[in-house]
Amino acid sequence: MASTEHDAAVDRVRVQLLPSVAGAPLDSLQQLVVDSRWNQTIEDWALFLRAGSVYAASDADAGIVASGAVLPMDALPASAMPSGEAASVAWISMILVKPSWRGRGLGRRVFERCLRHVQTEGRVAMLDATPAGEALYRSFGFQVLGRLTRWRREARVADGVAAGPAQGTLDRLLALDAEALGFDRARVLRGLSERPGSRVVTADHAAALVRAGRTARQLGPMLASSDEGAAQLLARVAEFDASALLIDVPDDRPSMQRTLEVCGFRPERPFARMALAAAGRELPVGNTQLIHAIAGPEYA
Ligand SMILES: CC(C)(COP(=O)(O)OP(=O)(O)OC[C@H]1O[C@@H](n2cnc3c(N)ncnc32)[C@H](O)[C@@H]1OP(=O)(O)O)[C@@H](O)C(=O)NCCC(=O)NCCS
C-alpha cells in the first residue's frame, strides 16, 4: 500500500476500550502477540480484560491492528510503607502494533489512551519496555528505573534424574512479592498460579512461580534474599524442567547470570523498567534487591 493511502487508513482506525472478556476478540488480540513473537497466551488477555482494561485499535477491513492494556495494582496498607504513604500504581503493557501498520503513529495513539486511563485514576504509570517502546515512552517523560535481560533456553531431552525443586506456598511468594515491589499484586499472581501447569517452587530463602507461555514456560517472579539462593533455585528448575524456559532477570545479578549461562540460557532481548513520576504521586518503595526475576514485562 502506498504511504499516503496507508496514512488515510490509519486516520480511519478507531481506538476503543474493549468492554469485557465476554465476546472479546481474543484470537485477533493474540495474533498481535504471535506477529511480534511474544510469549503471552489467550489466558493473559482474559486476565487483562477481567482485572484491568484493554484498548484495541481497529480498522474496518484489517480488524484489530494495535493494542494496549492497563492493569491496576492494589495498594499496600500505608502503615506497611516506609514512607507511611501507599503508592497507587498501574502497569501498562501489551503495546503492540501489527507489523505492516508500524511507524504511522498507532503505537503512540494507543499508548496515549492507556496513559490517560492511568492518570485519570490518579495512579503512577509503570511498565517494562522493549528498546522500540523505550523510545516512545521517553517522549512522554518516562524514566528508566533499571534494566533487565530476557534469557531463553530451548527445550532439551529430559534425562529424568534431577530431583525437582520443592513445592512452595503461594502465601510465602505473595509476602515476598509485596515487600519487593511496594504494592500488592496478589490478584494477578493468584490468577497465574491457578492455571494448569503452574507451580510455585522454593529453595532456601527463595521462591518462584513457573507458568505456561505461548513459546516457552516462564519462570518468574523469583524472589530471594540472596543472588546465590536465587541461582540455586534457578538451577533446580532448569535441571528438572526440560521444556523451553524464559526468564527476565535484572542485569545486576552476577550469580544468576553465571547460572543462566551454565544451564544453557542465552540472552534474547533487553527490557527497561520505567515509571512516569508525577507531582503529588509517590513511586512505590519496595525492596528491589529481592527481585531476581520479574513475572514478565506485562505483569511487573
Ligand atoms: C513499539 C511499537 C508499539 C511502536 O508502534 P508504532 O506504531 O510503530 O509507533 P509510532 O509510529 O506511533 O511511533 C512512536 C514512536 O516510537 C518510536 N519507535 C517506534 N518504532 C521504533 C523502533 N523500531 N526503534 C526506535 N524507536 C521506535 C519512535 O520514538 C516514534 O517516535 P516519533 O513519533 O517521534 O517518530 C511497535 O513497533 C511494535 O509493536 N513493536 C513490537 C512490540 C513492542 O516492542 N512493543 C513495545 C512494548 S514496550
Q: Which atom of ligand 1 is nearest to the CA of 127?
A: 48
Q: What's the predicted TM-score (pTM) here?
A: 0.94
Pairing of strands 143-153, 53-59: unpaired
**249 C-alpha to ligand 1 centroid (Å):** 23
Q: Is 105 in the pocket of ligand 1 (CB under 6 A)?
A: yes
Q: How far apart are CA 128 and CA 134, in angstroms?
A: 8
Domain 3-144: what homologous superfamily? Gcn5-related N-acetyltransferase (GNAT) (3.40.630.30)
Percent of the chain that is helix, strand, coil (3-state, to 5): 35, 30, 35
Pairing of strands 206-211, 266-276: unpaired
Q: Is 132 in the pocket of ligand 1 (CB under 6 A)?
A: yes
Going from N- to C-terminal start, the domains of the chain cover: 3-144, 148-293
Check if 3-144 and 148-293 are the same fold.
yes
Q: What are the backbone dihedrals phi and psi of residue 173, each rounded to the nearest 5 degrees, phi first?
A: -60, -45
**132 C-alpha to ligand 1 centroid (Å):** 5
Q: How far apart are CA 204 and CA 66, in angstroms?
A: 43
The per-residue pLDDT string of the chain (300 residues; one tens digit each, 9 = 90 and over) reads: 555 666 888 999 999 999 988 888 999 999 999 999 999 999 999 999 999 999 999 999 999 999 999 999 999 887 666 666 667 999 999 999 999 999 999 999 999 999 999 999 999 999 999 999 999 999 999 999 999 999 999 999 877 767 788 898 999 999 999 999 999 999 999 999 999 999 999 998 899 999 999 999 999 999 999 999 999 999 999 999 999 999 999 999 999 999 999 999 999 999 999 999 877 788 899 999 999 999 999 999
The domain defined by 148-293 folds into: Aminopeptidase (3.40.630)
Q: Is 274 in the pocket of ligand 1 (CB under 6 A)?
A: no
Pairing of strands 245-250, 217-224: parallel
